[in-house]
Structure 1
Amino acid sequence: MKKLLYFALLLLWLPLSAQAQRTGQGFTQQFNQASVLLSSGDTISGPLALHRGEDMLTMSLPDNTVRTLPAVNVQSFAVRGERYDRRREQYYYDDFYSMRQGYYSGNPYFGTAPAPRRRERPDTTLMRVFRTYRWNRDNDYSDFRAPGFFEQLSGGPIILLRREGLVERPITNSGYGYGMGGYGGMPPGRPMGYYTDIKDNFYLGLPNGNVLPLRNPKKDLSSYFRTHARQLAQYAKTNNLNYTDARDLAYLVNYANSLGANE
């Protein structure tokens, strides 16, 4: 009976695994309001769909037509009213307005220490800002750089950027209380299937228009801001900042900018 139940669960999750592979390049986010600054200098507004893998926008215009905008035609865009994706955590902090203002500029959130963390439900009325940078799509062996969309999380001149993408995570039979032999006689830890999750990938946007991937944010930040690496490390320790958390990382990049570490 246990074996039959195990294989039934496996059959249930396998289609999700196949779907995750198919949607790796089909991750689309819908926003009710958007303002897009085109490469031509013109601005258009309306509901927007952000096609992550393709680095493309589709916009519904007032005349009921749909306009397709590849990244090469876009300088930047701001969006509100995202349709909440249940793949996210139930609570996550998604307000980067204060971080985009930088460390100073009269910003009350950047005094001697970062503001206390708040656990909030997603507020889709908050504005999110995206900019276009040329990058090699994380291919270190390629000199070809194509335009792509990156979300701005901090102030400048060095800007913390984020790209959200889908990732497959395994569902294992461990931890379900089925004994040392695993579930249905299968070895413990064997994947029963996969589910899709949203993963943050971080970058630094440089003044020359290039992007630097932060594959190991703690190590890579220290390397780039090496002149003030000790101060940055102490700031992170004093304020208990996590190098893999988007909000904490924005604090760190803004603080590094305030030290003139990019000079």
Structure 2
Amino acid sequence: MKRNWFFRVIMIGLSALCSLAAQAQRGGQGFTQQFNRATVLLTTGDTLTGPVQLHRTEETLLMELADNTVRTLPAVSVQSFAVQGEQYDQSRERFYYDDFYAMRQGYYYGNPLYTQPIPRRRERPDTELVRVFRTYRWNRDNDYSDFRAPGFFEQLSNGPIILLRREGLVQRPVTATGPYGYGYGGAGRTVGYYTDVKDNFYLGLPNGNVISLRNPKKDLLAYFHGNSRQLEQYAKDNKLSYTDARELAYLVNYANSLNAGKSK
């Protein structure tokens, strides 16, 4: 009985490592997301609709048109786009597929303009929720470069200073946590790596540039330094986290309400 249990644990561990290796291999080919429906607003003012592939690394959309042709849309030719119907990723925590509609309209805790209750998190992930992306110029997080190229950023809040999110691939370690067990990112001997998706936050400025929030609390308070004490108190009173996308959107909307936004 113990022997069967031993081999079963070994097989589960090997299966997990093989699965993670496959994820890493896919990640090495670039980061692509498929959406069943999209509406794309071009810089020319034209609008296109249809299924779309978002190629994150290349900053490009591939859209299937009604005549069954495929059109390549680089970020430089796209003003914004809205998508729905992404294939559900079982590896993501369910709150990732959150509804940012109210936040994109300017909602924040205590806003007297909103008479409806605070939007609650959905119990189940809903990939039919509309996600909105906008094009901004950025230096690809290279602090030593003044060159800024167009890139796609997801809009999470209202403006004039907008909370933005970019998803990127990151390598995380698989560790041996015991004689027959495996863990992800914990203490122990590293036995391999797997590819995960990491959220990175930014502030979108009215001039079309972005500011990276590498340390969301520190960098957000630094940008809105004229109202940093009010922001800190607001976060404390409402138990808001600076690293949760939904709650960070509330904080940015509140900061905008204080007229603390400024262009740089």
TM-score, normalised via structure 2 length: 0.85
Q: Which runs of 4+ in 1 moved over 4 A?
A: 5-12
User: Match of 2:230?
Assistant: 231
Does residue 1:85 correspond to 2:89, yes or no? yes
User: Match of 1:259?
Assistant: 258
Deviation at 1:21? Answer: 6.2
Question: In structure 1, the residue corresponding to 2:240 is in which secondary structure?
Answer: coil
Distance 1:117 1:170 in 2: 34
User: Match of 2:68?
Assistant: 64
Q: Which has the higher contact order (CA 8 A, sep 6+)?
A: 1
Question: In structure 2, the residue corresponding to 1:26 is in which secondary structure?
Answer: coil
Where structure 1 has 5 or more consecutive residues not aligned to the other structure, the ranges are none
Distance 2:64 2:149 in 1: 25
In the superposition, relative to structure 1, how do residues 14 and 83 fare at CA in structure 2: closer, same or farther (>3 Å)? Answer: closer
In the superposition, relative to structure 1, how do residues 7 and 162 fare at CA in structure 2: closer, same or farther (>3 Å)? Answer: same
Q: Percent identity?
A: 70
Q: How many residues align?
A: 250
Distance 1:259 1:25 in 2: 44
User: Match of 2:165?
Assistant: 162
Deviation at 1:57? Answer: 0.3
Once the two structures are superposed, the pairs formed by residues 49-60 of structure 1 within 5 Å of their partners are 49-60=53-64
Question: In structure 2, the residue corresponding to 1:249 is in which secondary structure?
Answer: helix
Question: In structure 1, the residue corresponding to 2:233 is in which secondary structure?
Answer: helix
Distance 2:189 2:14 in 1: 11
Does residue 1:101 correspond to 2:100, yes or no? no
User: Match of 1:203?
Assistant: 202
User: Match of 1:28?
Assistant: 32
Q: In 2, are the aligned partners of 1:93 and 1:120 still within 8 Å (CA)?
A: no
Which amino acid is 1:207 matched to? P
Deviation at 1:20? Answer: 2.1
Which amino acid is 2:235 matched to? A
Distance 2:214 2:18 in 1: 30
Deviation at 1:25? Answer: 6.0
Deviation at 1:191? Answer: 1.3
Once the two structures are superposed, the pairs formed by residues 83-232 of structure 1 within 5 Å of their partners are 83-103=87-107, 106-108=113-115, 115=118, 117-174=120-177, 176=178, 178=179, 189-232=188-231
1:45-90, Cα deviation, whole Å (9 max, x unpaired)? 0011111111110011110111111101100000111111122114
Q: In 1, are the aligned partners of 2:98 and 2:122 still within 8 Å (CA)?
A: no
Deviation at 1:190? Answer: 0.8
TM-score, normalised via structure 1 length: 0.85
In the superposition, relative to structure 1, how do residues 157 and 215 fare at CA in structure 2: closer, same or farther (>3 Å)? Answer: same
Deviation at 1:19? Answer: 5.1
